[in-house]
A and B are shown apart, each in its own frame.
Chain A
């Protein structure tokens, strides 16, 4: 099923501004399916989340139809934008929760040091990592940056998808997302480098 046309959206909006009692149902019938499908295309967005966010978007419009400006976008685009923002917010809060529950120190278990290093070196490595984690946690970085840093830490080859997921950039078009991920990764690596240099015992 294709997404509703601009004309369909305009007709519905005109009815919304009148006293038509069944138009609210028609807005749901016209847009819920396409909105859910559009949201479900984003990796990490389940059907349940898509359903809830699409419903949020339609209810937001029903409460304040006057906020829609037909000169700026079609009703379909308007609702899709609201639904995507809702999905993004919901994704960010659930990602933040998951990430909060994970400790970057787990890198030691994910990427154990080479087996031929001595016990002293191993302990030293662990202590340096602990100090770095403390500095990262104390740097007052926004949750999004912390999520990105965790990806850099825990993934041997930090993939674009996992970085985009952590930074909440999955809603962007592919090329825009690639550029944003690269920009943020470079920035976060610089932050990490600076924090590493702050360790007086770190000679690297």
Chain B
């Protein structure tokens, strides 16, 4: 194997890069409270393969099935665990974002209400 000293750091950074599997894995870890070892076990690979996977594009859109196939063939993985992970992150991650947005909207509504009340309370000139 060639010298891949950089791989660990590049994979770590991928957790904040939209569109890469690294971000999917990071979200999954947060949702499932699992370690990197557990994540690798679930996908059926070792940690170095997990780091390489993290640098791949996240399968999406119409080419989803084909992209999963390409990734799994390259790393000798069974597609099901990866697909399950992607689906779970899409659903749960999406719900979390919605919840965050909703709470953001609630905060904004509260702030608007407070501002309105303040305006109403202000003495009219």
Choose from B9, B63, B71 the contact partner of A51 (Cβ within 8 Å). B9
Interface size class of B (residues with CB under 8 A): 20 to 34
Complex alpha-carbon distance, A36 and B66, angstroms: 33
A36 touches B71 (CB 8 A): no
Residues of chain A contacted by B55 (CB below 8 angstroms): 24-25, 28
Assuming the contacts A24-B55, A55-B13, asked whether A32 and B6 have C-beta atoms less than 8 A apart, the reply is yes
> CB of A121 within 8 A of chain B?
no
CA of A55 to CA of B9 in the docked complex: distance in angstroms? Answer: 9
Is the beta-carbon distance between B67 and A62 smaller than 8 angstroms?
no
Q: Is A175 an interface residue (CB 8 A)?
A: no
Our pick among B9, B52, B61, B67 for the contact of A25 (Cβ within 8 Å) is B52
Q: A33-B2, A59-B17 are in contact. Are A20 and B9 (CB under 8 A)?
A: no
Residue in B2, B5, B13, B56 whose beta carbon sits within 8 Å of that of A21 in the complex: B56
Contact with B along A55-80 (1 / 0, CB 8 A): 10011001100000000000000000
**If A19-B63, A55-B10 touch, does A24 touch B20 (CB 8 Å cutoff)?**
yes
Q: Are B13 and A33 in contact, CB atoms less than 8 angstroms apart?
A: no
Structural contact, B63 and A22, CB atoms closer than 8 A: no
Contact with A along B1-38 (1 / 0, CB 8 A): 01101110110010001001000000000000000000
Query: Using a CB–CB distance below 8 Å, which chain B residues touch chain A?
Result: 2-3, 5-7, 9-10, 13, 17, 20, 52-53, 55-59, 61, 63, 66-67, 70-71, 74
Known contacts A21-B58, A55-B9, then 5 further A-B pairs from the complex at CB < 8 Å, ordered by chain A residue: A19-B67, A25-B55, A28-B55, A51-B9, A55-B6
- Which A residues are closer than 8 A to B by beta carbons? 19-25, 28, 32-33, 36, 47, 51-52, 54-55, 58-59, 62-63
Return 12 A-B CB contacts under 8 Å, by A number: A21-B58, A22-B74, A24-B20, A25-B56, A33-B2, A33-B3, A51-B5, A51-B6, A51-B9, A55-B13, A58-B10, A62-B17
